[in-house]
Amino acid sequence: MTDSDLSPDPLVDPAAMRKQYRAAGLDEKDLAAHPMDQFSRWFEDAARAALHGTLYEPNAMVVSTADAAGRPSSRTVLMKGYDTDGFVFYTNYDSRKARELADNPYVSLLFPWHPIARQVIVTGVARRTGRDETAAYFRTRPHGSQLGAWASAQSSVLSSRDELDAAYEELGARYPEGERVPVPPHWGGFRIAPETVEFWQGRESRLHDRLRYVARRDGAWDVERLSP
């Protein structure tokens, strides 16, 4: 095989892919005083883009954790709430991410809103939500998703898809539609209390705007501009 055989088709060559971001810039004077207020503004923009079919699942975020030895792992999960205290998602507490957070509570979040040339990058500390808050959210999940929280031993090895389907069918027979499904004791939420929140706005010639909020000990926030 020659080097020419390995040359990628220009259509799928990553090095040849180019897109100019022509969105308006992000200026310090336009930022909200609190990063979660600024996030709310951008999340509303992302939600509107999703409504118009431009963006898919604006609440999808990449959650990156690291184990006790510092080895990282990432996955996409759905944010299910946010407030001044941080960002909330739910998971199986026996999953890989939950086990890593038990050993190392520092976490990074990334909201990849590429169709609108924006990203939000968060670093912070994860804490479990209370059982009352977890139960309140669990009750809002569709019946099938409630059963799925029981059926899946998340991150464990399966012998086959049939094993998972059989567990789900057994639970469906035990808790038919309309019957109350108990909250799994091994399932619940994490709230990520942010320490930094970066708002990334794509600009032309790769000269992007990057404004990062950094938490201070007194509860206030500093804002710093990062080189793109």
| Catalytic positions, written as ranges | 206
Q: How far apart are CA 147 and CA 52, in angstroms?
A: 32
**Distance (Å, rounded) from C-alpha 14 to C-alpha 113?**
19
CA distance 124 to 110: 12
Residue with tokens 């609108």: 116
Q: At 192, give phi and psi (nearest 5°).
A: -100, 110
Size of the chain, expressed as the number of residues it contains: 228
Q: Please give the DSSP secondary-structure letter assigned to residue 34.
A: S
CB count, 10 Å around CB of 59? Answer: 17
- Provide the 8-state DSSP code for 212: E
Neighbour-count burial for 20-49, b at 16+ CB within 10 Å, e otherwise: ebeeeebeeeebeeebbebbeebbeebeeb
